[in-house]
Amino acid sequence: MNNPILMKNLRVVPDFPIPGIQFQDITTLFDKPECLHLMRDETVGLYRDKGITKVIGLESRGFMLGAVVASELNAGFVMARKPNKLPGKVLSVEYDKEYGKDTICMTSDAITTEDTVLIHDDLLATGGSMRAAIDLVRQFNPRRIYVNFIIELTIEGLHGRDILNDVEITTLMRV
């Protein structure tokens, strides 16, 4: 989609968090009402007719727009979090990161077989955390799973979309 207003307001921070990385900073999209409204409206427009009943936001940047979109779609919002952050019984999936492993968790009663799910996060790079989220959501056996990101990095060597090829993916911006 690459809305010119969103692209103009996306801040790139060189050499963060390490030298050579061009960090795509979404904070500048959230602190401007016009950008926040555009992200909300564009995302809701993509999913308005898909029958979404639950939106899952990945910790933590997926919580911000995910909750807004859930409200606009009249859907529930579910947090996918790191270990020991959710009360009660949880389901989890461990996944590999560039320098180790991580785990993503959801409460065991968060999704039903009647749900159509949208999983939302801020950024698609390698796809590892979203792959884990999809695998986690599949444990609940929902009707359908959709995936959305604010930004997809198209840098050579990053093949995040390739490992997510079993779901429908949309992004608001490709950089």
Give the pLDDT of residue 120: 98
* 73 in any annotated domain: yes
Overall number of domains in the chain: 1
pTM, entire model: 0.95
* 14 in any annotated domain: no
pLDDT per position as a tens digit, 83-106? 999 999 999 999 987 778 999 999
* 40 in any annotated domain: no
Distances (CA, A) of 106 to 92, 102, 138: 7, 14, 12
* 11 in any annotated domain: no
* 123 in any annotated domain: yes
Q: Looking at the predicted structure, is the pLDDT value of residue 172 above 80?
A: yes
Is 42 one of the annotated active-site residues of the chain? no
The CATH number of the domain holding residue 148 is 3.40.50.2020
Angle at 65 between CA 139 and CA 148, to 5 degrees: 50
* 42 in any annotated domain: no
DSSP per-residue string spanning 100-155: EEEEEEEETTS--TT-EEEEEEEEESS-HHHHHHHHHHHTT--SEEEEEEEEE---
Please tell me which residue in 40, 72, 94, 98 is annotated as part of the active site.
Answer: 98
DSSP assignment letter at 58: E
Is 81 one of the annotated active-site residues of the chain? no
* 32 in any annotated domain: no
Give the pLDDT of residue 100: 82
Please tell me which residue in 40, 61, 138, 174 is annotated as part of the active site.
Answer: 61
* 84 in any annotated domain: yes
Q: Looking at the predicted structure, is the pLDDT value of residue 159 above 90?
A: no
Give the pLDDT of residue 99: 75
Backbone angles phi, psi at 135, to 5 degrees: -60, -40
- Range of 148's domain? 51-174
